[in-house]
Amino acid sequence: MSPQIDTLVKMINQIADNAPRQETPEATAEAVVSHLKKFWAKPMKQEMREYVKAGGVGLNEVAAEAALRL
């Protein structure tokens, strides 16, 4: 993992915390996914996918769910 992953973890957690709240955590995770698809560059998404597969330490619940769905 590159040192950049710390920033990406911080970013996705922040998006998960701030994305307009939906009725279920799954729906919020889906909103996070669509945000990432819309705004994150390919290598950033790729790195996040790999990170969550490797355990995803430090990701909050919604962020982890979003990363898995990415």
Partner 1 sequence: MLHIFDPNTRTDRDLGTPPPALTGNTVSLSIDGHAIDVPEGTSVLRAAALAGIQIPKLCASDNLDAFGSCRLCAVEIEGRRGMPASCTTPVAEGMNVHTQTDRVAKLRRNVMELYISDHPLDCLTCPANGDCELQDMAGAVGLREVRYGYEGENHLVAEKDTSNPYFTFDASKCIVCSRCVRACEEVQGTFALTIDGRGFDSKVSAGQNDDFMDSECVSCGACVQACPTATLMENSVIDQGQPEHSVVTTCAYCGVGCSFKAEMKGNEVIRMVPFKDGHANHGHSCVKGRFAFGYATHPDRLTKPMIRDSIDDAWQEVSWDEAMQFAADRIKAIQAKYGRDSVGGITSSRCTNEEAYLVQKLVRTAFGNNNTDTCARVCHSPTGYGLKQTLGESAGTQTFDSVMQSDVIVVIGANPTDAHPVFASQLRRRLRQGAKLIVADPRHIDLMTTPHGGEALHLPLRPGTNVALINALAHVVVSEGLEDRLFIAERCDPAEYAAWNAFIREERHSPEATESITGVPAESVRAAARLYGSARNGAIYYGLGVTEHSQGSTMVMGIANLALATGNIGREGVGVNPLRGQNNVQGSCDMGSFPHELPGYQHVAQDGPRKAFEDAWGVTIDNEPGLRIPNMFDAAIDGSFRGLYVQGEDIAQSDPNTQHVEKALSSLECLIVQDLFLNETAKYAHVLLPGSSFLEKDGTFTNAERRINRVRKVMPPLAGKEDWQITQDLANALGYAMHYDHPEQIMAEIASLTPSFRGVTYQKLDELGSIQWPCNDAYPNGMPIMHEQDFPIGKGRFVVTDYVATTERANRKFPLLLTTGRILSQYNVGAQTRRTSNQSWHDQDWLELHPHDAEERGINEGDWVGLTSRAGDTVLQAKISIRMQPGVVYTTFHHPVSGANVITTDNSDWATNCPEYKVTAVQCEKVAQPSAWQERHRAQHKKQWGLLKTPEPTEPVVK
**Site for partner 1, rule CB under 8 A:** 2-4, 7, 11, 14-15, 17-21, 35, 37-45
**Minimum Å distance from CB 36 to partner 1?**
10
Rounded distance between C-alpha atoms, residue 61 and residue 13, angstroms: 9
Amino acid at 20: P
Pick the closer one to partner 1 by CB: 38 or 55. 38
Asked if 48 and 33 count as a contact pair (C-beta separation under 8 A), the reply is: no
**Minimum Å distance from CB 15 to partner 1?**
5
Pick the closer one to partner 1 by CB: 15 or 52. 15
Rounded distance between C-alpha atoms, residue 12 and residue 66, angstroms: 9
